């Protein structure tokens, strides 16, 4: 059971990582990146590293997303 869940999460992680690179709309990329961080946080707890999971959830999914969105709002949204 643990094995299938981890495989599913890793697939999702790869999919979100590729999506972040491919998406041209930077706002959408920031949101997908926060989803990537969330999947990564769940994977850290699966790997018995709750300290890292806490950091990943708070910094990756919370703070950096807000900072990215502020930066996009003050610069440009579309990647050329």
Partner 1 sequence: MRKAIMLLALAGIGVMLIYAVGEMPPMGDSGNPDKTHVAPRYLEHGEEEAGASNVVTAVILNYRGYDTMGEVAVIFCALCAVVAVLGREKTGLSRTHMDVSRVKASVVVRTTVRFLVPVIIFFAIYIILHGEETPGGGFQGGAIIGASIILFTLAFGLPESTRKIPLKSRVPLESFAVIAFLAAGFTGILFGANFLTYIMPGLSEHAAETIRQVMMMVIEIGIGFAGGIIFTSIMFAMIREDKYELQPDSS
Applying CB under 8 A, does 8 fall inside the site for partner 1? no
Pattern 10-39, partner 1, x by CB under 8 A: ------------------------------
Applying CB under 8 A, does 47 fall inside the site for partner 1? no
What SS3 string covers 2-53? HHHHHHHHHHHHHHHHHHHHHCCEHHHHHHHHHHHHHHHHHHHHHCCCHHHH
Residue 71 Cβ vs partner 1, minimum distance, rounded to whole Å: 7
12: tokens are: 């999702």
Write out the residues near partner 1 by the rule CB under 8 A.
50-51, 53-55, 58-59, 62-63, 66-67, 70-71, 73-74
């Amino acid at each position: 059971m643990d094995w299938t869940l981890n495989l599913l999460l890793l697939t999702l992680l790869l999919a979100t990582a590729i999506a972040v690179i491919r998406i041209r709309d930077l706002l959408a990329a920031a949101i997908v990146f926060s989803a990537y961080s969330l999947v990564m946080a769940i994977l850290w707890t699966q790997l018995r590293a709750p300290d890292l999971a806490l950091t990943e959830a708070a910094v990756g999914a919370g703070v950096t997303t807000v900072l990215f969105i502020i930066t996009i709002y003050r610069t440009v949204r579309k990647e050329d």
